[in-house]
């Protein structure tokens, strides 16, 4: 009889990672909603939705967004909000800004314009390199065998999990490329 030790360990790891991811995914969705809009960007979330209520930081250079126009040209979002905490205030962003959901559902914020300039250009290149390295590293990994172990474990001990949906979620969390949680955080 199988003891399912390896499958149990995988499942526990999945549960731990999924719990963390779930918090970060909710946070990412909140930030995306708070900052969305065409043209100008709301300043308040840029200044206050980062770690410990601080500014959102660029995932590459780890610095706040910088405003453009008006009397706040070149001023970082948190400093600008400190001077002018006016609800609903929107501003252009110097050098552009990207708010994006990563493949694992977590938040990424960058200075720049995708494909053109700024931190996002460097980040995208680094991401391509990291993903290529991951593909190379895992090319020979037998993921099917691991999923079969999990499937057998579920059938034997957790029948409510013995379905494709759960296995697919585990596959996505444990075996696909993990881009990490990003620099900004709901904590």
Partner 1 sequence: MSETDLPSWPELEARLVAELRTGIEQAREASTGEPLAVLVLWADPYKGWYEVLADTASRNRDGARARNQRLLALLPELATASDAWKTAMRVARQVQALDFDPQYGDYTFSDDPIHTFDISFDAFVRSPRYAELNAGGEDGWLEGHVRFVIARAIARLVGEDAFAGLSPDLLRVGYAYPDSGDAIIVAHVEP
Which residues of the shown chain bind partner 1 in the complex (CB under 8 A)?
Answer: 61, 63, 66, 68, 71-76, 79, 83, 94-96, 111-113, 116-118, 121-122, 125
Tokens coding 80: 């600008």
CB of 58 to partner 1, least distance (A): 9
CB of 116 to partner 1, least distance (A): 4
Residue 50 or 118: the one with the smaller Cβ distance to partner 1 is: 118
d(CA 125, CA 18): 27
CB of 117 to partner 1, least distance (A): 4
Residue 113 or 175: the one with the smaller Cβ distance to partner 1 is: 113
CB of 7 to partner 1, least distance (A): 41
Residue 66 or 181: the one with the smaller Cβ distance to partner 1 is: 66
Residue 95 or 186: the one with the smaller Cβ distance to partner 1 is: 95
CB of 22 to partner 1, least distance (A): 33
d(CA 183, CA 108): 8
Residue 71 or 159: the one with the smaller Cβ distance to partner 1 is: 71
Q: What HEC string does the chain produce?
A: CCCCHHHHHHHHHHHHHHHHHHHHHHHHHHHHHHHCCCCCEEHHHHHHCCHHHCCCECCCCCCECEEECHHHCCCEHHHHHHHCCCCCCEEEECCCEEEEECCCCCEEEEECECCCECHHHHHHHHHHHHHHHHHHHHCCCCHHHHHHHHHHHHHHHCHHHCCHHHHHHHHHHHCCCCCCCCCCCCC
Of 56, 93, 49, the closest CA to residue 75 belongs to 93
CB of 71 to partner 1, least distance (A): 6
Residue 124 or 178: the one with the smaller Cβ distance to partner 1 is: 124
């Amino acid at each position: 009889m199988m003891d399912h030790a390896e499958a149990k360990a995988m499942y526990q790891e999945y549960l731990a990672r999924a719990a963390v991811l779930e918090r970060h995914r909710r946070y990412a969705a909140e930030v995306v909603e708070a900052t969305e809009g065409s043209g100008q960007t709301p300043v308040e979330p840029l200044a206050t939705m980062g770690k410990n209520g601080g500014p959102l930081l660029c995932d590459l250079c780890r610095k706040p967004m910088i405003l453009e126009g008006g009397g706040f040209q070149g001023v970082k979002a948190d400093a600008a909000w400190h001077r002018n905490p006016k609800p609903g205030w929107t501003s252009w962003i110097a050098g552009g800004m990207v708010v994006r959901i990563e493949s694992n559902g977590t938040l990424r914020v960058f200075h720049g314009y995708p494909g053109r300039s700024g931190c996002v250009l460097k980040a995208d290149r680094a991401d391509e390199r990291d993903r290529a390295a991951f593909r190379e590293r895992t090319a020979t990994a037998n993921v099917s065998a691991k999923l079969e172990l999990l499937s057998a474990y579920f059938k034997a001990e957790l029948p409510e999990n013995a379905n494709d949906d759960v296995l697919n979620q585990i596959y996505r969390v444990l075996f696909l490329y993990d881009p990490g949680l990003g620099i900004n955080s709901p904590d």
